[in-house]
Amino acid sequence: MPAAAPIFTLDHVTVERGSKALLHAISTEIPGAACTALLGPSGAGKSTLLRLLNQLGEPTSGSVRFRGRPLTSWDVLALRRRVGLVGQQPVLLTGRIRDELRVGRTDLEDDRARTLLEQVGLYAGMLGHATAGLSGGEAQRVCLARTLAVEPEVLLLDEPTSALDTASAQAVERTIRNLVDSGLAVVLVSHNLSQARRIADQVRVLRAGRLVDSGPADRIAYLKERV
């Protein structure tokens, strides 16, 4: 099967903070309709790279293209509807789950909202519940459902299951695979190598801001060496 066409292209991307290079001359492609895991030790630059993809950061030099166009040529708000980011720490913006799911989609109907909750492993009957009473894991999944409500083309996930119990994490992993199988591109930052083995199609390994390995998940030594 031919590789999926790239949805992002990074060309010699460097990010510097003061005298330190957080990313150093990264050149790679991120395919569409696939789950690409960004792996490597803490401080390798994974989250820095992820944030570049929806303009929450900018490269010091080099370029990032989305669907063949320079990222800087996109309207930022339009880009972030197409490229959704779910961070490691959930941030809820409203008092009710129903309103939370409508933050970016004011016309979202209740039936669709309930489906989104079930899709991320939550009970559909929670739609009218207060956000203040949610556990950390529930809040994280509501944030994921909120992002999915606007029907993005790409989902950026920064350690999305780090605060979840095993059952909740498995529900999110199933959601990710189902989304990828339906044509969504997912870029996942994870320290959970078992998770990467289960759900990643492609892997990019970073170390000290440099891309040190890249390819299909089943060919990456980093995953095979750390059983």
Residue 1 lies in a domain: no
Residue 202 in any domain: the answer is: yes
Q: What share of the chain is helix, strand, coil (3-state, %, to 5)?
A: 35, 30, 35
pLDDT per residue as tens digits for the range 2-44? 455 799 999 999 999 988 899 999 999 999 999 999 999 999 9
Q: Note the pLDDT tens digit of each residue in 136-146.
A: 888 988 999 99
Q: Give dist(CA 76, CA 42) in Å, integer.
A: 29
Which CATH number characterizes residue 97's domain?
3.40.50.300
Structural contact between residues 35 and 176, judged by C-beta atoms closer than 8 angstroms: yes
Domain residue limits at 200: 6-225
Q: Residue type for 71, please? A: L
Number of domains in the chain: 1
* Identity of the residue numbered 70: P
Q: Which residue has the tokens 């060496």?
A: 225
Interatomic CA distance for residues 31 and 23, integer angstroms? 20
Question: Model pTM?
Answer: 0.92
- Each residue of 32-77: pLDDT tens digit? 999 999 999 999 999 999 999 999 999 999 999 999 999 999 999 9
Has residue 146 been placed in a domain? yes
What is the dihedral angle through the alpha carbons of 113, 51, 44, 66, rounded to the nearest 10 degrees?
A: 100
Predicted confidence (pLDDT) per residue in 152-200, tens digit = 999 999 998 887 888 888 888 888 999 999 899 999 999 889 999 999 9
What confidence tens digit (pLDDT) does each residue in 196-225 have? Answer: 999 999 999 999 999 999 999 999 998 877
Q: Decide if 213 is inside a domain.
A: yes
